Amino acid sequence: MLNNNVMLPTTVKLQVRTEPFVLARVAVLLRKYDVFVQQVVRNTLDDNREEITLTVINNRDNLAVALRKLERLVPVVTLQWEAAAQK
């Protein structure tokens, strides 16, 4: 059985509409929910969209809440996330 309080590395992939300060808004929102970003990779897809891949450390409860808020507050086109396997 999974323990949701365990801190696990998780990969979060976002495709967002390109807007000023979009990455800053993502980072501030994640930090508000105690989701700690380890790595950020940005890739411009076209003039209107970019892909942001984040490696984060979190507990799953906080991440789920943060991602729901993120979808409402940031111009997200698609969002997917995958946690590392728990040992």
Amino acid residing at 58? N
Q: What is the domain partition of the chain in residue ranges? A: 8-83
Q: Assign domain 8-83 one CATH number from 3.40.50.150, 3.30.70.260, 3.30.2020.30, 3.40.30.10.
A: 3.30.70.260
Band of the pLDDT at 8, cuts 50, 70, 90?
Answer: confident
pLDDT digits (tens, 9 = 90+) for 35-62: 988 999 999 998 889 999 999 988 778 8
What's the pTM?
A: 0.78
Q: According to the model, what pLDDT value does residue 1 have?
A: 46
Q: According to the model, what pLDDT value does residue 6 have?
A: 65
Calculate the alpha carbon distances from 1 to 6, 32, 61, 77, 86 in Å: 12, 28, 15, 32, 10
d(CA 77, CA 84): 24
d(CA 54, CA 37): 7
Q: How many CA atoms lie within 13 A of 86 on its CB side?
A: 12
